Each structure stands twice: as structure tokens, then as C-alpha cells.
Amino acid sequence: MKLLTKELEAKLPPLYSNDALGYEAHAIVKFFTPDASWTWYATEYDAQERIFFGLVDGFEMELGYFSLDELQSIKGSLGLSVERDIYFSPTKLSTLMQRNTL
């Protein structure tokens, strides 16, 4: 599965454009490891640098940058690649954080 389609890329705002929104920014796309407990929610994207900004839920939940190239190279403990959640709907970061802390 292609992690980032042209359609999704067009929906992602450029890096730094959501700064004023903080946790009210919307995650547009969700990536996850099917055989590990890591999830990445992208709110912004720089197509030239292939860098996302968003919420990363791994060892801890934090905001940060992650690259498309990195996501494409990750293999989980069973050798499975990162996937895109095709059923994910844009969701505020604040909502995602509340869901994951309950």
C-alpha cells in the first residue's frame, strides 16, 4: 500500500501553517505498525523535504517531525511495514490525545 497518495498530500497543509492551532490542529492521515505499538498522526507535510509534523504515539505520546522515508523503511518485530489507516477520518490532536490516555 502506498503510504501517501497525491490526494492525501494535497490535503495536508504545509509545515508550520497550523502553529497557531496547537492541539486543535487536525490530523489528516494516520500511519501505524501492525506488529508493534507505534502510531503517527500527520497534521502537516513538506513535499520537497518529505517531512511530516504531527503526533507520535510510541514509547511516549509527543508532537514532532517524522519523515516519509523513515516510515517507508521501518519494519516491526514480525517484519511488517508501516501501513496507512484507510478508515481514518481527520481528527483533532486534542481528541486523539484524550482517546489514548483513557
CA distances from 10 to 19, 38, 92, 95 (A): 19, 25, 18, 23
- This model's pTM is above 0.95: no
pLDDT of 99: 76
Q: pLDDT tens, 2-37?
A: 999 999 999 999 999 999 999 999 999 999 999 988
In the chain, what are the domain boundaries? 6-101
Instruction: Compute the average pLDDT of residues 79-99.
Output: 94
Q: pLDDT tens, 49-83?
A: 999 999 999 989 999 999 999 999 999 889 999 99
Residue 9 CA to residue 44 CA, distance in Å, equals 9
Backbone angles phi, psi at 30, to 5 degrees: -120, 130
* Beta-ladder partners of 55: 41, 63
